[in-house]
């Protein structure tokens, strides 16, 4: 059972069976399906152009700003230089469909 109390003190209760799906290294190839979970997305590079910010690159490629900053060892401000090459990892685990009446948290 999950209970959350919001700012007004009202409690919300949700009952669900939760299936957590995780994949280890080399558990599946990009776009693969089968007995294991699939991985979608790619690791790619992007050359910073004038006007690019961590937030705009994040929105364009679907990668969280904190991940871009950490993966590219940027300063905490996330300042980018024109011509700088960023590595962007947009891979996501696609979990197998759960049994009826389950919630899959990815």
Q: What is the 3-state secondary structure (H, E, C) of the chain?
A: CEEEECCCCCEEEECCEEEECCCCCCCCCECCCCCCCEEECCEEEEECCCCCCHHHHHHHHCCCHHHHHHHCCCCCCCCCCCCCEEEEECCEEECCCCCCCEEEEC
> Are the beta carbons of 88 and 63 closer than 8 angstroms?
yes
Nearest to 81 by CA among 106, 47, 44: 47
* pLDDT tens, residue by residue, 38-86: 888 999 999 999 999 999 999 999 999 999 999 999 998 889 999 999 9
User: What span, in angstroms and rounded, lies between the C-alpha atoms of 77 and 15?
Assistant: 41
Residue 22 pLDDT:
39
Q: Which tops the pLDDT comparison, 78 or 1?
A: 78
Residue 30 pLDDT:
43
Confidence of residue 37 (pLDDT cuts 50, 70, 90): low
Residue 77 pLDDT:
86
User: What span, in angstroms and rounded, lies between the C-alpha atoms of 98 and 18?
Assistant: 9
Residue 59 pLDDT:
96
Q: Which tops the pLDDT comparison, 4 or 105?
A: 105
User: What span, in angstroms and rounded, lies between the C-alpha atoms of 102 and 104?
Assistant: 6
Residue 17 pLDDT:
36
Q: Which tops the pLDDT comparison, 72 or 28?
A: 72
Tell me phi and psi for residue 65, to 5 degrees: -55, -40
Residue 92 pLDDT:
85
């Amino acid at each position: 059972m999950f209970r959350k109390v919001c700012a007004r003190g009202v409690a919300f209760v949700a009952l669900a069976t939760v299936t957590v799906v995780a994949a280890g290294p080399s558990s599946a190839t990009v776009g693969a399906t089968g007995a294991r979970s699939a991985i979608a997305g790619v690791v790619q590079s992007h050359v910073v152009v004038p006007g690019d910010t961590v937030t705009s690159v994040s929105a364009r490629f679907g990668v969280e700003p904190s991940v871009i900053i950490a993966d590219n060892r940027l300063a905490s401000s996330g300042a980018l230089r024109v011509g700088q090459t960023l590595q962007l990892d947009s891979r996501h685990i696609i979990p197998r469909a759960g049994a009826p009446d389950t919630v899959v948290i990815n």
